[in-house]
Structure 1
Amino acid sequence: MNQSIPSSSDDDSGNMTTAPQSAGHSHISADSGNSALVGNSFGESRHWHDVFWLGIFLLHLIIIGLALGLLGLNRFRKKDRLNIDQYTNRIIGTEADLTEDYWPLYAIAAAVGTVLGWAWLLLLGSRANQMMKIFVHLLTTYLAVLSVLCFWDKLVFWGVAFAVGSGLQFLYIISVIDRLPFTMLVLQRAVKMVWKLSDVMRIACAFMIIMCLWLALWSFGASGVVASSIGDSGRWWLLVVFSVSLFWTGAVLCNTVHVIVSGMVFLVLIHGGREAASMPHNPLLQSLRYAVTTSFGSICYGSLFTAAIRTLRWEIRGFRSKIGNNECLLCCVDFLFHLVETLVRFFNKYAYVQIAVYGKSFNHSARDAWELFQSTGVEALIAYDCSGAVLLMGTLLGGLITGTCAVIMTRIKHSDRVIMMGTTAVLMGMILVGLAMVVVESAVTSIYLCYAEDPLLIHRWDPEFFDQMSEMLHERLQHRSSRGMQVLNHNRPGDRIQETVSI
């Protein structure tokens, strides 16, 4: 059955396009050989994609790793061991410390972030609904408390920053409050899925260990920067460069786990279970091999842009739905919204599932996934779901708690380095917690892609969840159609007036 729906991902869209798919009809029949097709694609040899970005990432790791090692060693147990200070004599310097004055503080922060990441994941498995409510409400409160403490300590800039963050978080929650029940439902089913795959947890644990090893080197170099005799401006510039590098490295590791886990979940849903006869041999090892070889360049490429575009899209979509009748402001936001929507077609998290299963390049995977969602109407369901934003809230909360611990410890002996240690520790905590949260997010993306490929796959896995998803999709399609008709009817009187004036 064909029906007309709006193409925009926002609930208030008035644009209309044709979507040849309704909620209850499958795009690809499960009995038509889809499982065999996926199995063959998963088992065959693959071509390398986005090799340029793979080279850039590896080169960046080598350069940053050498710089971190040199800067950390220069202040380790002896001031200016490598005589680097002679190159910074033009920069206003301050009293220098030693690397080991700050390195243990980073180690404690990394430990806190690791514990929080696993605690969040374990509690999601046993108390999913309660933990999601904590993520949503506690983040706003925590940001407000941090703002008050910063003002009390006369840190006006950070007080304003945390106050603005708390306000934006509160406004976003208000704008999506009606979507949270469905979001909780999706997240609960995703947690249910990943907890049945013990191999997935071991992969997440292994990559968290790899991240901790890189953080040991990164924090060693960052401690050398904080302890150096360079002025504050020089320290900040170096820390910003190293933080951007850490963000990219952390995103690459998170998305590598994303590819492995989403590939596993997709295969389990396609084949009807982990023990199915049609399941490829050693799917976890094959998915891991593809993720760190032929598909690794695509992961490096997508990790540069995907997170920032997703976050911007959430904020614009939530703000756009609450603007009202301010036509000037709505016009400006609409321009930004459609610009971001164009970028989303080429940079979205659903590309990683296609990369895992079919071995495509990143842009090709992102475009195919988005076109599939548009053609089936499932994109209306994805736009309504806020599971990614809720998991991001948990990640931000974990990072802020980690940063708070680092600030408290640094304030005791090095009160002049509190901001530097706190901001970098927040980033470390977010990456470590994000590595745990990405396991659940991978399951969510796989569930939506399977539903778009063939809704019967979800029905075979969980009939009750399938009925709830289908009902919600039907409601969202009806809502968009009614919004489109309202816009058309709103524009007709103007056309009539213009015709009358012409006559």
Structure 2
Amino acid sequence: MNHTQSPFSSSSDETGTMTTAQQSAGRSHMNADSANAVSMNPTLGASRHCRDVFWLGIFLLHLILVGLALGVLGLNRFRKKDRLNIDQYTNRFLENQPGLTEDYWPLYAISGAISTVIGWIWLLLLGSRSNQMMKVSVHILTTYLAVLSVLCFWGKLLFWGVAFAIGSGLQFLYIISVIERLPFTMLVLERAVKMVWKLPEIMRVVCAFMLVMLLWLALWSFGAAGVVASSIGDGGRWWLLGVLSVSLFWIGAVLCNTVHVIVSGMVFLVLIHGGREAASMPRNPLLQSLRYAVTTSFGSICYGSLFTAAIRTLRWEIRGFRSKIGNNECLLCCVDFLFHLVETLVRFFNKYAYVQIAVYGKSFNHSARDAWELFQSTGVEALIAYDCSGAVLLMGMILGGLITGTCAAVLTRIKHSDREMMMGSTAILMGMILVGLAMVVVESAVTSIYICYAEDPLLIHRWDPEFFNQMSETLHQRLQHRSARVREGLSENRYNHGDRVQETIPV
């Protein structure tokens, strides 16, 4: 084995040159008997305590209230205008152009079907053509956003034209900033897909959760169709759709992260025990992970789902922008401030917390902090910062949502041209959630691989020696790169300090 990296510190060069033996002796708690050690860990098999119960209560209360509101909004326009006499409270905003819920509800149903098909096509093609699909999702998104921008300008939808143009520009800049990282990213994604496809029971879990999401979307789209058909002015309709979209985003994130916890727990056990068919594997590991995810750990999932996705996306953008600033010291100072602020938030809100939740049953903040400290103490954080697998999967999810939204907008334009952007924008969110549910299994495998690599590199070596060597070589290069940047920064500071001293001597 040629794994030559160990705990990393940005202020020291010596920490980046320790050998594998030193690293394993210092931090590995799993060796040749790792499967037995894990099976004796009481946190994996014993009963657990409920975590983050407050956020579980908030989520359930939100679910009940939003569900009632959706039912009322949809029924008010179902087969009869103003069935519940709600218009009397909105007479100041009446446009006298109300519709019916059933005018728009079937269009949402079509959008749900399209996004479900797209999600499964992506997942199936990832299993057989992973590299090609990842390249398509990376490069075609920029083009698709640019085409949408042109179409919006042509249709005199200036706001949406500008929004899609900005999105296309940001996407292009991000791809340029991380182009050298894509080969390693594709490698990690390919191995994650390889692992997931060897666990067919995971696909059954995805099917079940997509069915649950579709059932909720049936109710959500019923209420959203009632809002689109209402006689409230455009401002009121957009405000209500915005509130309902935030609610749907949280619910979708909770379901995605529940799948994340289930799959992470399963993949972690497979890596720890050396294979799905190993004699040391516990009985019904998937059912065990499922039970923990929807009971004791569900509060932690609800809590983390509020913030993790937004913070991750912001971190990706800042990292890409920061690497292309150059020598503009003023701009670099501002971006560095935002960068360190986001890095602090990432310490308490990161996707790797879900692996710790799945395996050890900790609270979300505790899991996130422990995972991040593990990565920083072992140097694996340098490898994670170099990997763009989460961003690539997000691109595929956004592309699926945009295709769904485009189809919904085109269908709506045929009969209700004044509602096309409302239907299209909400259908985009629906598509992103359903495609994201199909693709979250791959991201779960990626996070579990990094956690296992940080816990004990020998676990990855036992699973795939070639992949282990490639990860080790990349980590070695990243640690050397960081050490060189630190030395360069220290030399520059000493040089600037010497210049200031020389300038003060004549005075």
Specify if TM > 0.5: yes
The CA deviation at 1:229 is 1.0
In structure 2, what is the Cα distance between the partners aligned to 1:232 and 1:94?
A: 12
In structure 2, what is the Cα distance between the partners aligned to 1:17 and 1:314?
A: 27
The CA deviation at 1:2 is 8.4
The CA deviation at 1:6 is 4.9
Q: Is the 8 A contact 2:5 2:472 kept in 1?
A: no
The CA deviation at 1:20 is 7.9
The CA deviation at 1:22 is 5.1
1:341 counterpart residue number: 343
Q: Is the 8 A contact 2:196 2:202 kept in 1?
A: yes
1:42 counterpart residue number: 44
2:488 counterpart residue number: 486
The CA deviation at 1:181 is 0.3
Counterpart mapping for 1:127-276 below 5 A:
127-276=129-278
In structure 2, what is the Cα distance between the partners aligned to 1:145 and 1:501?
A: 57
In structure 1, what is the Cα distance between the partners aligned to 2:47 and 2:290?
A: 14
The CA deviation at 1:500 is 3.4
Counterpart mapping for 1:416-431 below 5 A:
416-431=418-433
2:391 counterpart residue number: 389
The CA deviation at 1:88 is 1.3
2:404 counterpart residue number: 402
In structure 2, what is the Cα distance between the partners aligned to 1:496 and 1:32?
A: 54
Q: Is the 8 A contact 2:382 2:479 kept in 1?
A: yes
The CA deviation at 1:499 is 3.1
In structure 1, what is the Cα distance between the partners aligned to 2:275 and 2:126?
A: 23
Return 280-289 or 313-322, whichever deviates more.
280-289
Q: Is the 8 A contact 1:69 1:220 kept in 2?
A: yes
1:413 counterpart residue number: 415
TM value normalised by structure 2: 0.95
Q: Aligned pair 1:496/2:477, yes or no?
A: no
In structure 1, what is the Cα distance between the partners aligned to 2:163 and 2:82?
A: 36
In structure 2, what is the Cα distance between the partners aligned to 1:313 and 1:57?
A: 26
Letter in 2 for 1:165: G
In structure 2, what is the Cα distance between the partners aligned to 1:196 and 1:133?
A: 23
Letter in 2 for 1:79: K
In structure 2, what is the Cα distance between the partners aligned to 1:144 and 1:93?
A: 34
1:69 counterpart residue number: 71
The CA deviation at 1:92 is 3.4
In structure 2, what is the Cα distance between the partners aligned to 1:84 and 1:38?
A: 59
Q: Is the 8 A contact 1:349 1:445 kept in 2?
A: yes
Letter in 2 for 1:316: I
- Specify which of 369, 372, 395 is matched with residue 370 of structure 1: 372
The CA deviation at 1:5 is 4.3
Letter in 2 for 1:227: A
2:89 counterpart residue number: 87
Counterpart mapping for 1:5-16 below 5 A:
5-7=8-10
1:28 counterpart residue number: 28
Letter in 2 for 1:370: W
The CA deviation at 1:82 is 1.1
In structure 2, what is the Cα distance between the partners aligned to 1:244 and 1:127?
A: 34
Show CA shifts across 1:37-94 (max 9, x none): 4333211110110000000000000000000001101111111111111111122333
In structure 2, what is the Cα distance between the partners aligned to 1:309 and 1:33?
A: 38
1:345 alignment partner, SS class: helix
1:10 counterpart residue number: none
Distance 1:239 1:273, change over 3 A: same
Q: Is the 8 A contact 2:8 2:378 kept in 1?
A: no
Show CA shifts across 1:89-137 (max 9, x none): 1223331100000000000000000000010000000000100010000
Letter in 1 for 2:391: A
Letter in 2 for 1:101: D
Q: Percent identity?
A: 79
In structure 2, what is the Cα distance between the partners aligned to 1:242 and 1:19?
A: 50
The CA deviation at 1:497 is 2.5
In structure 2, what is the Cα distance between the partners aligned to 1:232 and 1:285?
A: 47
Letter in 2 for 1:269: L
Q: Is the 8 A contact 2:30 2:37 kept in 1?
A: no
Distance 1:107 1:17, change over 3 A: farther
In structure 1, what is the Cα distance between the partners aligned to 2:12 and 2:417?
A: 58
Show CA shifts across 1:239-270 (max 9, x none): 01000000000000000000000110000000
Show CA shifts across 1:458-480 (max 9, x none): 00000000000000000100111
Show CA shifts across 1:358-385 (max 9, x none): 0000000000000000000000000000
Return 422-431 or 225-234, whichever deviates more.
225-234
Distance 1:18 1:293, change over 3 A: farther
Show CA shifts across 1:156-209 (max 9, x none): 111111111111101100100000000000000000000000010100110000
The CA deviation at 1:29 is 4.7
In structure 2, what is the Cα distance between the partners aligned to 1:334 and 1:238?
A: 37
1:102 alignment partner, SS class: helix
Q: Is the 8 A contact 1:38 1:357 kept in 2?
A: no
2:348 alignment partner, SS class: coil
Q: Is the 8 A contact 1:23 1:474 kept in 2?
A: no
Letter in 2 for 1:167: G
In structure 1, list runs of 5 or more residues that go unmatched: 8-14
**Runs ≥4 in structure 1, deviation > 4 angstroms?**
1-7, 15-23
In structure 1, what is the Cα distance between the partners aligned to 2:19 and 2:152?
A: 50
In structure 2, list runs of 5 or more residues that go unmatched: none
1:406 alignment partner, SS class: helix
In structure 2, what is the Cα distance between the partners aligned to 1:4 and 1:256?
A: 31
Distance 1:183 1:89, change over 3 A: same
2:111 counterpart residue number: 109
The CA deviation at 1:139 is 0.2
